[in-house]
């Protein structure tokens, strides 16, 4: 009915995903190399010296053929051969140093790009991550940067080396014999001129190929994550996912074949010129040798030069164009992310909040994740410092959205969110979030030890503080029972622990941060009945003296709240204490009788 197959395909290309520009920012690419200009200068010097040294075998070959052998001069032969050996060893030694410098430059640039990209992504707003597939992001951070690495550390050096070899060879050839040099360069324009149009076509196809790889990375990340594979198996959709992956893979295959075939005839003609060029030199040189007295050794040296130092490097420049085009497309994809607007961590004239007291006010707030759909509709309320405010209402009413506006994960389209008298859009994000602790329904733990996960909010926490926080969250006894205690690795996303254990660790992590404003979004929803009472008592102690914004669909937290806000369709329709709202016999009373009448208060959170 809804075209599920087509829907899944369309989601791969969300309108929120970054769009590619069609221009190459050469200055920006060059700026990445600027900090490494000194080692790059040394690399260039090494390449020039190598190119000059490797000219020696050609000249020495001519002397051997035209001087040493005809004159039976063994001493001249030994000198010529010695020059060949010494220059070869010298060029090899310089090549080792060049390799080190090239790696130094390449890996340094890669480190800088990775750091800039990941740091930039860390500063992107939550809306970016909700509108972009994780696989697409990972593809740019990992595979795209790796592709640049191959070009920077290998291809660019190869281009520079080949250009210098061609230049030094042409200079030497024209100085030696300008007539033969002219004959040698007849076919060079045929090898160079088509590079422009062929390169533009390659760039277009390579850009589309990278986009298709984003789609494959997204499918792979989604279906092979623990949550994704559980979903697939629970719905027995292995066959469908296999077919879907095959379809996307086929599109990538078609693009890769098209890329491989772009300029194939051009590359074939370049290969042919490598053979035809020496024929021209032999024809012209042979005519000059027969009628003009040109020495045979010169002809042999010229043929050696053009095969190994002129046509060969020119052919390599043509063949590595695919790699260059790929790198340019990847650079643009990375720049696309780097140009996306980050969170305004330091808005104009922003102030750093001192220690937060915890007064939270919403003033006529209007918000929607999309322009055509409001989630909050003129919401106004006040929670005073130290109060516990509970938000209740049906799913989708806007409760979680309200709490996400306080730490400024999103900004309202209208109205203001005020903390301690300051509009949150006028303060630095670091100072705002420093004193806000959040425990959500979905707990995230890093693949690290329990101690490291707990210390994430307070890196300098002592072992005693860890134990105190874990005890308050009713998780210390469990941790102590593990063979490795606080050094236990929790596994990716904490999947070695039960849902309740993960949730209690998340609560302990926030307690260790000791925030002034505490946000609990269904924070105890994963706890078993045995732990609920102990955790509830711990939370009541923790919330005392702090401003607490609590979203709960179970009764105990609601009963103990200083103020309850009933949210329906993005509006606060009622507010008051539990007793006051029951007495009004309105929406809260209806919700209470519908959801809680059969649930003893002592069993709920």
Pick the more confident residue, 597 or 579: 579
pTM of the entire structure? 0.67
DSSP H/E element including 62: helix 56-63
Q: Which domains does the chain have, with CATH numbers?
A: 25-194+263-338 (1.20.1560.10), 367-435+518-605 (3.40.50.300), 444-514 (3.40.50.300)
Give burial (CB, 10 Å; 0-12/13-18/19+) of 430.
Answer: exposed
Contact 560, 388 (CB under 8 A): yes
Q: 378: helix, coil or strand?
A: strand
b/e burial code for range 21-42 (CB count within 10 A of at least 16 → b): eeeeeeeeeeebeeebeebbeb
Question: Tens digits of per-residue pLDDT, 21-38?
Answer: 445 677 888 888 889 889
Output the average pLDDT for the chain.
80
DSSP H/E element including 87: helix 74-122
b/e burial code for range 552-563 (CB count within 10 A of at least 16 → b): bbbbbbbebbeb
pLDDT of the residue at 74: 87
Reported as a pLDDT band with limits 50, 70 and 90, residue 567 is very high
Provide the 10 A C-beta neighbour count for residue 19.
6
Beta strands in 460-588 (DSSP E): 517-521, 547-551, 563-568, 571-576
Distance in angstroms (rounded) separating the CA atoms of residues 62 and 74: 15
Range in 85-89, 307-311, 528-532, 558-562 the model is least confident about: 528-532
Range in 205-219, 234-248, 472-486 the model is least confident about: 205-219
Distance in angstroms (rounded) separating the CA atoms of residues 153 and 601: 66
Pick the more confident residue, 422 or 211: 422
Highest mean pLDDT of the ranges 229-233, 339-343, 569-573: 569-573
Distance in angstroms (rounded) separating the CA atoms of residues 212 and 148: 18
pLDDT of the residue at 285: 81
Question: Tens digits of per-residue pLDDT, 37-81?
Answer: 899 899 999 999 998 898 888 888 888 888 888 888 888 889 989
The full DSSP string for 312-328 is: HHHHHHHHTHHHHHHHH
pLDDT of the residue at 495: 60
Question: Tens digits of per-residue pLDDT, 426-436?
Answer: 998 888 888 89
Question: Tens digits of per-residue pLDDT, 361-383?
Answer: 999 999 998 877 889 999 999 99
Output the six-digit token pair for 186: 């007849």
Reported as a pLDDT band with limits 50, 70 and 90, residue 321 is low
Spell out the residues 6+ positions from residue 20 whose beta carbon is closer than 8 angstroms to its own. 207, 211, 332, 333, 336
pLDDT of the residue at 13: 40
Contact 244, 219 (CB under 8 A): yes
Please enumerate, as own/partner, the contacts of 266-270 that have beta carbons within 8 Å and a separation of 24 or more.
266/194, 266/198, 266/318, 267/318, 267/319, 269/190, 269/191, 270/191, 270/314, 270/315, 270/318, 270/319
Range in 11-15, 246-250, 320-324, 347-351 the model is least confident about: 11-15
pLDDT of the residue at 528: 55
pLDDT of the residue at 596: 59
pLDDT of the residue at 350: 83
Distance in angstroms (rounded) separating the CA atoms of residues 535 and 527: 9
Reported as a pLDDT band with limits 50, 70 and 90, residue 82 is very high
Looking at the DSSP bridge assignments, the partners of residue 550 are 390, 520
Looking at the DSSP bridge assignments, the partners of residue 383 are 360
Distance in angstroms (rounded) separating the CA atoms of residues 46 and 349: 51
Average of per-residue pLDDT across 310-329: 71
pLDDT of the residue at 391: 93
Looking at the DSSP bridge assignments, the partners of residue 111 are none
Q: 170: helix, coil or strand?
A: helix
Question: Tens digits of per-residue pLDDT, 379-422?
Answer: 999 999 989 999 988 888 899 999 999 999 889 999 999 999 99
Average of per-residue pLDDT across 538-567: 78
């Amino acid at each position: 009915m809804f075209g599920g197959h087509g829907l899944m395909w369309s989601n791969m290309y969300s309108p929120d995903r970054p769009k590619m520009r069609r221009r190459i920012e050469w200055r920006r690419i060059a700026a990445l190399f600027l900090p490494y200009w000194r080692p790059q200068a040394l690399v260039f010097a090494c390449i020039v010296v190598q190119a000059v040294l490797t000219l020696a075998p050609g000249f020495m070959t001519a002397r051997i053929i035209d001087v040493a052998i005809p004159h039976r001069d063994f001493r001249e032969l030994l000198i010529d051969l010695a020059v060949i050996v010494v220059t070869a060893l010298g060029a090899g030694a310089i090549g080792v140093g060049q390799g080190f410098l090239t790696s130094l430059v390449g890996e340094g640039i890669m480190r800088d790009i990775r750091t800039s990209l990941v740091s930039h992504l860390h500063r992107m707003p939550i809306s970016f991550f909700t509108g972009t597939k994780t696989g697409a992001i990972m593809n740019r951070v990992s595979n795209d940067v790796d592709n640049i690495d191959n070009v920077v550390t290998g291809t660019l050096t190869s281009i520079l080396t080949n250009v210098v070899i061609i230049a030094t060879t042409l200079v030497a050839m024209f100085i030696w014999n300008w007539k033969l040099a002219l004959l040698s360069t007849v076919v060079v324009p045929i090898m160079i001129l088509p590079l422009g149009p062929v390169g533009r076509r390659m760039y277009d196809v390579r850009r589309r190929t990278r986009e298709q790889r984003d789609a494959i990375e997204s499918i792979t990340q989604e279906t092979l994550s623990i949550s994704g594979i559980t979903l697939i198996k629970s719905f027995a959709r292995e066959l469908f996912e296999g077919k879907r992956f095959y379809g996307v893979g086929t599109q990538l295959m078609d693009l890769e074949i098209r890329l491989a075939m772009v300029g194939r005839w051009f590359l074939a003609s370049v290969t042919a010129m490598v053979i035809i060029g020496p024929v021209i030199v032999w024809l012209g040189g042979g005519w000059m040798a027969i009628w003009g007295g040109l020495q045979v050794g010169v002809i042999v040296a010229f043929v050696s030069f053009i095969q190994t130092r002129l046509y060969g490097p020119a052919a390599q420049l043509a063949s590595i164009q695919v790699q260059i085009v790929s790198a340019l497309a990847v650079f643009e994809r990375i720049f696309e992310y780097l140009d996306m607007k980050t969170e305004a961590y330091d808005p104009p004239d922003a102030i750093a909040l001192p220690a937060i007291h915890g007064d939270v006010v919403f003033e006529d707030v209007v918000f929607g994740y999309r322009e055509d759909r409001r989630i909050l509709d003129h919401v106004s309320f006040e929670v005073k410092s130290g109060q516990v405010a509970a938000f209740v209402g049906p799913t989708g009413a806007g409760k979680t959205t309200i709490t996400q506006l306080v730490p400024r994960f999103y900004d309202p389209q209208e109205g203001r969110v005020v903390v301690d008298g300051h509009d949150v859009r006028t303060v630095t994000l670091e100072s705002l979030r420093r004193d806000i602790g959040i425990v959500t329904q979905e707990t995230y733990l890093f693949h690290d030890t329990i101690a490291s996960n707990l210390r994430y909010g307070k890196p300098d926490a002592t072992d005693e503080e860890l134990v105190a926080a874990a005890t308050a969250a009713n998780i210390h006894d469990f941790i102590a029972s593990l063979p490795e205690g606080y050094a236990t690795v929790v596994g990716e996303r904490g999947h070695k622990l039960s849902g309740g254990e993960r949730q209690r660790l998340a609560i302990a992590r926030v307690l260790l941060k000791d925030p002034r404003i505490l946000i609990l979004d269904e924070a105890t929803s994963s706890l078993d009945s045995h732990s609920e009472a102990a955790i509830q008592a711990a939370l009541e102690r923790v919330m005392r003296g702090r401003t607490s914004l609590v979203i709960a669909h179970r009764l105990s937290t609601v009963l103990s709240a200083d103020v309850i806000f009933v949210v329906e369709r993005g509006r606060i329709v009622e507010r008051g204490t539990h007793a006051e709202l029951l007495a009004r016999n309105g929406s809260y009373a209806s919700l209470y009788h519908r959801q809680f009448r059969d649930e003893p208060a002592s069993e709920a959170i």
